[in-house]
């Protein structure tokens, strides 16, 4: 199961709260229900994005956190922090055959992390629900608001997002967003054929053909507002929300 969602990080805040995008379901091995299988968290206070996955740790099942930033000098992953007032796209998946997890964002050139250690994975979990909810820490006295769009869920047999697949959504990087003059689009899969930009009335306002893995759009002539960017590849297409400032 693959999940993709875009959200607006909002302004800096002192709110001690977290928003979670999560897939829950059944685990036939222990016959319990309502278990969280795979998720991604956004911390409003630190603006950190974290991956989560349900694993079997020496016989004890639990929901474990994974940092998604680049590795440090010792090879350990660091925290992934999103900028304020920015649209961010998250993609995460669970492979019920192998138990593998994938977490990805369009930050920092397209951050992708995975977990596939056979000693800890739990294959065979059955995804049932997709949920979005928030929760606050102790002593929280500040409000927080999140805006969500483009929430999609895809179920495919024996399929999972990965670093070497032709999944345009996972490998696509669009920056900056919001943008003022130039919009950069790139894909490590080398399969961008064309891009088109639409206003919220569905009118095409900009289009450009492409024959490489990178393309740049000049949007200086467009009015401020929200647009939909459609990127077409060899075998797939994806739509992203773009904000023109």
Q: Calculate mean pLDDT across residues 199-210.
A: 84
The residue behind tokens 């229900």 is: 33
Q: Which residue from 26, 46, 47 is spatially nearest to 37, judged by alpha carbons?
A: 26
Q: Tell me what pLDDT residue 157 has.
A: 53
- CA–CA distance, 13 with 144 (Å, rounded to integer): 7
Domain end (from 130, 154, 178): 154
| Domain assignment of residue 163, yes or no | no
Among 126, 154, 182, the domain-final residue is 154
What domain count does the chain have?
Answer: 2
pLDDT at 161 over 50: no
pLDDT for the residue numbered 41: 95
Q: Residues of 111-143 as b/e, b for ≥16 C-beta within 10 angstroms?
A: bbbbbeeeebbbeebebeebeeeeeeeeeeeee
Distance CA 20, CA 90 (A): 11
Q: What are the phi and psi torsion angles at 168 (to 5°)?
A: -60, -40
For residue 193, give the CATH number of its domain.
Answer: 2.60.40.3080
Q: What is the pLDDT of residues 100-133, one digit of tens each?
A: 888 888 886 666 788 878 788 888 888 877 888 8
Question: Which residues does 152 contact at the CB level (< 8 Å), separation at least 6?
Answer: 3, 4, 5
Instruction: Give yes or no for residue 225 having a pLDDT over 90.
Output: no
Residues 149 and 214 in one domain: no
pLDDT at 94: 87
Which residues span the domain enclosing 223?
A: 168-244
Same domain, 236 and 174: yes
pLDDT exceeds cutoff 90 at 48:
yes
């Amino acid at each position: 199961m693959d999940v993709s969602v875009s959200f607006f990080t909002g302004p800096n805040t002192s709110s001690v709260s977290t928003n979670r995008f999560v897939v829950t379901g059944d685990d036939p091995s222990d016959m319990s229900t309502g278990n969280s299988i795979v998720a991604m968290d956004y911390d409003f206070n630190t603006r950190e994005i974290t991956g989560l996955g349900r694993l079997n740790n020496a016989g004890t099942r639990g929901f474990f956190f994974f940092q998604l930033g680049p590795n440090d000098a010792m090879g350990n992953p660091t925290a992934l922090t999103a900028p304020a007032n920015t649209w961010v796209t998250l993609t995460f998946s669970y492979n019920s055959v192998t138990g593998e997890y994938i977490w990805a964002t369009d930050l920092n050139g397209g951050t992708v992390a995975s977990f596939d250690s056979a000693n800890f994975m739990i294959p065979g979990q059955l995804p049932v629900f997709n949920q979005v909810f928030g929760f606050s820490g102790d002593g929280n006295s500040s409000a927080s608001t999140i805006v969500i769009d483009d929430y999609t869920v895809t179920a495919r047999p024996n399929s999972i997002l990965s670093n070497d697949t032709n999944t345009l959504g996972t490998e696509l990087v669009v920056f900056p967003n919001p943008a003022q003059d130039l919009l950069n689009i790139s894909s490590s899969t080398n399969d961008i054929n064309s891009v088109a930009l639409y206003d919220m009335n569905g009118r095409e306002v900009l289009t450009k053909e492409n024959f490489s893995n990178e393309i740049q759009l000049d949007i200086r002539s467009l009015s401020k507002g929200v647009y939909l960017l459609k990127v077409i590849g060899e075998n797939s297409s994806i739509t992203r929300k773009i904000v023109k400032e």
